[in-house]
Amino acid sequence: MTVPALELADVSCTFVSRDAPGQRYTAVAGVSLSLQPGEFVSVVGPTGCGKSTLLNMAAGLLAPSSGQVRVFGQPLAGLNARAGYMFQAESLMRGRTALANVAAGLEFRGVADAREQAQDWLRRVGLAAFADRYPHQLSGGMRKRTSLAQTLAIDPDIILMDEPFSALDVQTRQLMENEVLELWARRRKAVLFITHDLDEAIAMSDRVVVLSAGPASHPIGEFAIDLPRPRDVAEVRMTPRFVELHHAIWSVLRDEVLQGYAQQLGRA
């Protein structure tokens, strides 16, 4: 068997409240999840269940309270250098052009032709003509494309994405999802994709993992997505197999979403 690209081995994460240090909240507990090289895995679950917490542990931004993260078989200590991340929030540097933003990561790694490579990545995401624009001169979709180029330019073996397209309108979002799938198909990296959108998870992935509502969130279902590739995310949604998978996964997810929603109201 091949060594997994990424492995969460029985990880838990307990937060200590900043305001009341005696108070603890266990967001996720006993989570085991592994990604094979080249595999596209989505994690879905209700808002606040611990999806970002899991991703942050995989990125090495957050150390698990117990359990271990392994990257190509090696225990992770500090930042995950084999991974590239793309988060929900805007992450571009405002004072830099699109080109300079994409080149930054390459320059940091000491790549000699960083600007040429950055230009090439902008071309691949359809932004060749926008290299000199600053983030505020780009649309939301274009900024996301720039972030995508930035993430892929460093050629990571693992790509970690946390609800990257949730701020986009539906049409732009579907275009970007298709682009991600196309780019991924060419260079098959392991992708851990976090979303609260089940349609998106099914359309994109090889496998969908469902998390329970918190506290102590953990996987309660795992579904292989056997839809043929290449996929068009808008079209695949209308196929009978997609509807069937959606039905099966939603039957597991629904109660968690309701429970998560009730908790949010309770805490507000």
Ligand X SMILES: Nc1ncnc2c1ncn2[C@@H]1O[C@H](COP(=O)(O)OP(=O)(O)O)[C@@H](O)[C@H]1O
Q: Contact between 161 and ligand X (CB under 6 A)?
A: no
Whichever of 147 and 212 has its CB closer to ligand X, that residue is 212
> Binder to ligand X among 32, 47, 137, 166 (CB under 6 A)?
47
| Collapsed DSSP state (helix, strand, coil) of residue 37 | coil
Residues 22 to 51 in contact with Mg ion, rule: CB under 5 A: 51
CB-based burial of residue 60 (10 Å sphere; 0-12 exposed, 13-18 middle, 19+ buried)? middle
Number of residues that bind Mg ion (CB under 5 A): 2
Answer for which of 4, 48, 141, 219 binds ligand X (CB under 6 A) is 48
Residue among 160, 175, 173, 162 nearest 126 (CA): 175
Candidates 63, 39, 68; CA nearest to 53 is: 63
Residues 6+ apart with CB under 8 A from 71: 5, 6, 7, 80, 82, 83, 158
63 in contact with ligand X (CB under 6 A): no
- Residue 185 CB neighbour total at 10 angstroms: 12
Site string for ligand X, 204-243 (x = CB under 6 A): ----------x-----------------------------
Q: State the Cα–Cα distance between residues 73 and 252, nearest whole angstrom.
A: 31
Please select the residue that binds ligand X; options are 6, 8, 40, 51, rule is CB under 6 A: 51
- Nearer to ligand X by Cβ, of 13 and 149: the residue is 13
For residue 263, state whether it binds Mg ion (rule: CB under 5 A).
Answer: no
Confirm or reject binding of residue 108 to ligand X (CB under 6 A). no
Tell whether residue 49 is a contact of ligand X (CB under 6 A): yes
Alpha helices in 109-228 (DSSP H): 114-124, 140-153, 170-187, 198-204
Residue of 3, 10, 24, 25 that binds ligand X (CB under 6 A): 25
For residues 214 and 219, which CB has a smaller minimum distance to ligand X in the complex?
Answer: 214
Could you tell me the two tokens for 136? 């505020």
Specify the stretch interacting with ligand X by CB under 6 A; choose among 44-52, 135-143, 146-154, 168-176.
Answer: 44-52
Binding residue (CB under 6 A) for ligand X from 15, 81, 140, 243 = 15
| Complex with ligand X: residue 25 or 108, whichever CB lies closer | 25
Choices 20-28, 52-60, 70-78, 164-172 (CB under 5 A): range interacting with Mg ion: 52-60
- Coil vs helix vs strand at 228: coil
Which tokens hold the place of 262? Answer: 């009730």
Q: Residue 91 and residue 87: Cα distance in Å, rounded?
A: 7
Binding site for ligand X (CB under 6 A): 15, 25, 27, 45, 47-53, 214
